[in-house]
Structures are given as C-alpha cells and as structure tokens.
Amino acid sequence: MHYCDSHAHLTSPELLPRLDEVLERAKAAGVDKLVNICTCRETLREGLLRKDKFANAGATTPHDVEKDGEADFPIFEAAANELVAIGETGLDYHYTYSDRKVQQQFLIRYLHLAAKVKKPVIFHCREAFEDLFKIVDAEYPKGAPAILHCFTGTLEEAEGVWSRGWHLSLSGIVTFKKSEDLRAVAKAAPLSQLLIETDAPYLAPQSKRGQRNEPSFIAETARCIATVRNQSLEEIARATRENGMKLFHL
C-alpha cells in the first residue's frame, strides 16, 4: 500500500536536520509521493537542491506576506517552472500576523502567477472563505486546479470548494477527538477531489499528539477517513495517491 502526502514542510528548520531519517521512515510506511511546501527563500533553496527526492511547491504564506512578501515574491516567481504548484497562499483571518488587505493583494499576485505558469494553486484559509471565494472567482480562471489544504471549515464551505472543482485536503486534525464536524466533511467528500496530508512538522494525528509530525504518520489520517466513509484503507490510500499524482503531475 502506498500514500501521497500532498503537503509537508520537509525543508523547514524542524525537519531539515533529520530529513534523511524522516524520508527513510516515510518510505518504510509506504509514503512514496511527497509534496514539499516551501514558504521562504531558505526552504525553497533547500527544496530545489533535493528535487530528486520529492516535489516542491512554494509561496509566501498569509502569515508572512506583510513582512516578507515583497522580497520573496520575485524568488518564487523565478522558480515557478520548477514547482509542481504555487502555494500555500491564501487568507488567514484567525490570526493577525499580516494585514488582511496585504494578504488579499498577495493572494491575487500568486493566483495570477499560477495561471501564468499553468500550475495548481494551494490555498491556506482560516475564517476567510467568503473573501477567498470572491477573490478567486474574480481573479483565477474558472476550472483551473486548486487545493484547499488542511481544510478545517464547515460542510457548507467544503461544498464551495467541491463545486468549484477544487481538491480538498485533510490533515491529522480529522483524527482529533473533537473533530466530528470535520469527519462529516470527510464522509461527504467526492473521492475524486480528496487528498490527504500531514502538514508536517505540525498537526500530528491523535495517537501522536504532541509529537513532531512527519509523513510516516499519514496512515492514521487515511484510516480515520476510511472508517467514516465505510471504505477500505486500501481504497482511500489508492484514490488519494492517484489524485495527488494526477494533480501535481508526479
């Protein structure tokens, strides 16, 4: 059985010093497709140096655009053809690390970049779905590929994702004891638009809570989704892996 981890920060400071061990454990756990998310010039540089080991995506996150967005955008723009996706970009209104207007401006710039290079865009969205949908509908080609990563919204917001033809990615949060509403989203999701991720080194699944997350933990997320959907683990692993391979051209 094999898995695709559609979103992991493999070249982050938390994982990079032990990356060889992390990749060995991922391989042993059946994770043979990995998308590394680069969120600054340093993680991008390290990711591109290791592009034989995993695929890379990149953008300045909504948290950091006010501080680093202007300086980093040209760097991600120059590397765009070497990436499998543009992101994670988007909007985060839960925290106030970056001004909302600045987040919106950079979201539009990254949307235009993704459309220009014909790569999927990966969204980060917290408490901002109304603005995200409005901006993307206006600034990104209809039907162009997109992923709502680490989805934690409502079923209604999930339906807004699916209706636009985007993929929805679930992380270890779906395994948390209090995540009943998110498991309802997992149950309702069209299998052809579903991805799984670790978001490593963050958000370890329930049995590993408090630990540094890594791709080898992804089976617990897949198993939880399989249970709520009354499908086999093999079906979920195969479908989400195939979805990731097709979407990112892995």
- Condensed to tens digits (0 to 9), the pLDDT of residues 91-144 reads 999 988 899 999 999 999 999 999 999 999 999 999 999 999 999 999 999 999
Q: Hey, which CATH number is domain 3-248, 3.40.50.2000, 3.40.50.720, 3.30.1490.20, 3.20.20.140?
A: 3.20.20.140
Q: Is the pLDDT of residue 69 over 90?
A: no
CB within 8 Å of 152: residues ≥ 6 apart: 126, 173, 182
Per-residue pLDDT band for 21 (boundaries 50, 70, 90) equals: very high
pLDDT in tens, 183-241: 999 999 999 999 999 999 999 999 999 999 999 999 999 999 999 999 999 999 999 99
The structure tokens listed for 113 are 């970049």
* Closest among 161, 160, 166, 152 to 247, alpha carbons compared: 166
- Centre a 10 Å sphere on the Cβ of residue 40 and count the other Cβ atoms it contains: 19
Measured between alpha carbons, how far is 210 from 73 in angstroms, rounded to an integer? 33
Non-local (6+) Cβ contacts of 17 within 8 A are none
pLDDT score, position 24? 98
Share above pLDDT 90 across residues of the chain, in percent, rounded to a whole number:
97
Ordered by start, the domain boundaries in the chain are: 3-248
**DSSP-derived secondary structure letter, 197:** -
CB contact set of 246 (below 8 Å; sequence gap of 6+): none
**What backbone phi and psi angles, to 5 degrees, belong to 225?**
-65, -40
Instruction: Output the DSSP codes for 53-90.
Output: TSEEEE---TTTIIIIIHHHHHHHHHHGGG-SEEEEEE
Question: What confidence tens digit (pLDDT) does each residue in 138-169 have?
Answer: 999 999 999 999 999 999 999 999 999 999 99
Q: Judging by beta carbons within 10 Å of its beta carbon (0-12, 13-18, 19+), is residue 151 exposed, middle or buried?
A: buried
Q: What is the mean pLDDT of residues 60-70?
A: 91
Separation CA 140–CA 114 (nearest Å):
9
**pLDDT score for 173:** 98
Q: Which residue has the tokens 């400071």?
A: 13
Q: What whole-number distance in Å separates Cα of residue 138 and Cα of residue 214?
A: 36
